[in-house]
Amino acid sequence: MKTLNNKWALVTGSSRGIGRAIAKALAERGCNLVLHARSLENLAATVADIKAYNIQYHLVSGELDSPEGVAAVIDGVKAGPGYVDILFNNAAINNVSTPVFEFTQAEWMRTFQINLFSMVQLCAAFGPGMRERGFGRIINTTSGIAGQPDLAPYSASKAAVDKYTQDLAVEFKDCNVLVNHVDPGWIRTDLGGPNAWEDVDSVIPGMLVPALLDDNGPTGRFYAAQDFKGL
């Protein structure tokens, strides 16, 4: 098993669902963790998951629905390890199914703030340091959603995540900061809902593939976590 000993990873939205599964899988590989949730109390179950592993961990809280909330997360990281080697932009929200012309401007803006703009702010905070140290892995969670105008803000925000990932990969070309996006699939979580096709455990090991790439490996690439199911 490839390890990530002495690396620090920030996983946004790591109190439950896919983020919690990612955090546990990283801990199994020796990776130190910055765990994030809207409140520190929400991280109790994830902390219990990782305590069996010989790693360091640090807890940060902050709402991602405003630049100030994201800044609180960044300040929390700086008060702990001070940097991250691996940035998992996992946290996101979906929309309530709504006729496409009836979404309010506020809902469009909130969806893009949480799903895209918070990601941009975190990448700007931690990406330059990765370049200076000659190592970084930025993994942006995307979606294969298509043909659902009733979820248009979510769908459009994930399309923007894809384009931003590709642009950022070019920005970090040839400096061993690899930027990739990964689709976990339709997962039975609070976001995916009870009718989704796959259990949350199915996202591992696929979600970790971009974090485990060799130095100067693929960047700007799309991965589907379900392609690695059962490996």
Which are the contacts of 19, defined by CB distance < 8 A and separation ≥ 6? 11, 12, 13, 36, 46, 88, 90, 91
Residue 91 in 3-state DSSP? coil
Catalytic residue among 57, 154, 164, 223: 154
Q: Is 154 part of the annotated catalytic residue set? A: yes
CA 174/CA 191 separation, integer angstroms:
36
- CA 16, 31, 139, 36 dihedral sign is positive
Q: Return the closest-CA partner of residue 187 out of 175, 195, 179, 176.
A: 195
**Using an 8 Å Cβ cutoff, are 135 and 179 in contact?**
no
* DSSP symbols for 166-208: HHHHHHTTTTTEEEEEEE--SBSSTTT-TT-SB-GGGGTTGGG
CA 68/CA 137 separation, integer angstroms:
25
Residues identified as active-site: 154
